[in-house]
Amino acid sequence: MSQPPYIGRFAPSPTGPLHAGSLVAALASWLDARAHGGQWQVRIEDIDTPRCVPGASDTILQQLATCGLLPDAAPVYQSQRGTLYQQALEQLTRQGLAYPCGCTRQDIAAALAISGHSRERHAELIYPGTCRSGLNGKPARAWRFLASPEGQSANVTWTDRRLGTQTQTVSDQVGDFVLRRADGLWAYQLAVVVDDAAQGITDVVRGEDLADNTARQILLQRALGLPTPRYLHTPLVLATNGEKLSKQNGAQALLTSNSQAVLAALNAAAACLNLPAASGTPSEALAQWTQPWAAQWALKSSGERFHHSTA
């Protein structure tokens, strides 16, 4: 049986230039595609407009090119794909799996206080489901995904190529998450699922900080009848304070002013991925890592590709 084609992607949010942390995800996703004879695409995730920095997407594409990381297709911009997200929301709504929510943050806090079950996750209150049965005269603000139709708990088990078996009870640990925000913007979870399927992505390789989103994305894939890609979450580069390196804790924009700086940045990213130091031009360095990457991250048979289970 022939293997399905491999299509991978790097999906940066243009909130600033590439830095040492985002380069790790870019390099890993590129190497995985190359090592498996696949295609590599870039998707600019520019839907959270208040967080986007003007010019950052062009800067990122230039930085990638300087590193020798050239996409095999024209980059896709999420800001131009609202129609697809709208169609997906309408499909979920028809299926009874999405509902409008009229609650403000204060409403949610008040409902949780009354129920005596106030719970938070990553500083977000877990939605108590107030609007599941209707808006009760309130205007619709956001749209939410019904994580546990008919009150069944939504338990998702999936396998990460590096982290192994992962389990999350989305209905309990996350709750009915947002698909369209109160400010009218599309939520990352919906956009990423729609786009990964529309672009035929077979393999998602991204930073470990995003692993926690995967169960939600798998629930949405199932609800929309879309395939589930394979997942590989890469190690994070940590800032001196021990947090994930980000612009907020001092990540420096990648230096691409000369080839020595580019090689140093690529070597630092490669070291984080357990690859040996390489030399030469960026493209020569990339070529030296393809084989070691392939040896480290062989793909399981295609039979496992779309496997996921509910427990």
Binding site for ligand GLU (CB under 6 A): 11-13, 45, 192, 206, 210
The count of C-alpha atoms lying within 13 angstroms of the C-alpha of 73, restricted to the half-sphere facing its C-beta, is 16
Least distance between ligand GLU and beta carbon 263 (Å): 24
> Between residues 78 and 256, which has the closer beta carbon with respect to ligand GLU?
78
Return d(Cα 307, Cα 310) in angstroms, integer: 10
> Between residues 48 and 176, which has the closer beta carbon with respect to ligand GLU?
48
CB distance 144 to 176 below 8 Å: yes
CA 298-295-163 angle, 5° bins: 55
Least distance between ligand GLU and beta carbon 177 (Å): 15
Least distance between ligand GLU and beta carbon 50 (Å): 15
State phi, psi for 277 to the nearest 5 degrees: -65, 145
> Between residues 174 and 263, which has the closer beta carbon with respect to ligand GLU?
174
State the DSSP H helix or E strand holding residue 251, giving kind and residue range, or none if neither.
none
CB distance 246 to 239 below 8 Å: yes
> Between residues 12 and 129, which has the closer beta carbon with respect to ligand GLU?
12
Instruction: Output DSSP code: residue 249.
Output: G
> Between residues 13 and 221, which has the closer beta carbon with respect to ligand GLU?
13
Return d(Cα 48, Cα 183) in angstroms, integer: 10
Least distance between ligand GLU and beta carbon 154 (Å): 20
Residue with tokens 């190529």: 161
Least distance between ligand GLU and beta carbon 276 (Å): 26
The count of C-alpha atoms lying within 13 angstroms of the C-alpha of 213, restricted to the half-sphere facing its C-beta, is 17
- Read off the amino acid at residue 88: A
> Between residues 12 and 17, which has the closer beta carbon with respect to ligand GLU?
12
Least distance between ligand GLU and beta carbon 150 (Å): 29
